Amino acid sequence: MADVHGPGKDPVAVLGTGIMGSAMARNLVGAGLPTTVWDRSPSATAPLSDVGALVAASPEEAIRDARLVITMLPTAAVVESVLFGDEVAEAFSHGAVWAQMGTIGVAATTEIAGRLGQLRPDVLFVDAPVSGSKAPAEAGQLLILASGPREADAVVRPAFSAVGRKTVWLGEAGQGSRMKLVVNAYMSTLIEGVAEALELASQLGIDDAKLAEAIEGGPLDAPIADAKLHKMERGDFAPEFPLEWALKDVDLAIAAAGDGTLPVLAALSRQWRAAVDAGHGREDVSAARLALGHNMRGGRL
């Protein structure tokens, strides 16, 4: 493939091209960064070839010549399997940077960073989970919660600028993951609050649209709450941030804090698990509405 990106731009590899990873890869290509992609599902990478990304046949092939490797994989187990299975980590180029940008929890992040340090001490590890869902990812407006060696900043900055509106550096690797759990705990309680307010409105004979009108423009009109309120109101559960991954993040927060210290999140986890177990895990987190009241009694679950 001819070099259409211009000189002096470091190659980037993206491992994991689901909802978030594919949007990020598109923005990297759009910023003129030579981008190679890989996913466990070939159908996830095929559309990216059409916009100018190179599609690798394996993770080892994807990272071999990359200056920056971004992982956007769903769980710690998948990250470990992909990067440390089949000696893939040995394929990092000398002095490369690995930006782990999925949400996999604090303990797993620390373990992976330590394992990489023993295996490839020349590779810099940046813990940089992102805050935002499908629409911000597509618009290149993610919040990046970065932590790790600051000498990696020069390498990651062009890519982070392409996919995010802001990068906050938080200290040593692991701090980004800690902050992400806190941010997502806040987000999750807002979304469950919206779902339960709508259920109460239903029980009291209040029209959903009137609730939205009453809140609009006031101090309670948080953008994420407003967006999910309208999705719930419309019965639109098309995935922007799948419920199963939101539940995963809630459970990671509970585990990190210790049993019994987050009673509201623990109750929320039970509610969301009911919806996931009923088959709504791949729907949007707004499907939390389906675990409440008349939806349960009416058999939607």
Query: Which of 228, 253, 250 is closest to 239 using CA atoms?
Result: 228
Phi, psi of 119, rounded to the nearest 5 degrees: -80, -40
Instruction: Look up residue 31 and give its two tokens.
Output: 């910023």
SS3 221: coil
Instruction: Please state, in angstroms and as integers, the Cα–Cα distance from residue 94 to each residue in 98, 120, 281, following that order.
Output: 11, 9, 40
Are the CB atoms for 130 and 145 separated by under 8 Å?
yes
Query: Which of 161, 169, 168 is closest to 140 using CA atoms?
Result: 161
CA separation for the pair 43, 261 (Å, rounded)? 42
Examine the residue annotation and report whether 180 is marked as an active-site residue of this protein: yes
Instruction: Please state, in angstroms and as integers, the Cα–Cα distance from residue 84 to each residue in 12, 76, 90, 95, following that order.
Output: 19, 11, 8, 18
CA separation for the pair 277, 285 (Å, rounded)? 14
Q: Is 88 left (phi over 0), alpha (psi -120 to 50) or beta?
A: alpha
CA separation for the pair 237, 228 (Å, rounded)? 9
Instruction: Look up residue 61 and give its two tokens.
Output: 């092939």
Q: Looking at 180, 228, 231, 248, which residue is catalytic?
A: 180
SS3 147: strand
CA separation for the pair 183, 132 (Å, rounded)? 10
CA separation for the pair 7, 186 (Å, rounded)? 43
Query: Which of 153, 104, 144 is closest to 124 using CA atoms?
Result: 153
Catalytic residues, which ones? 180
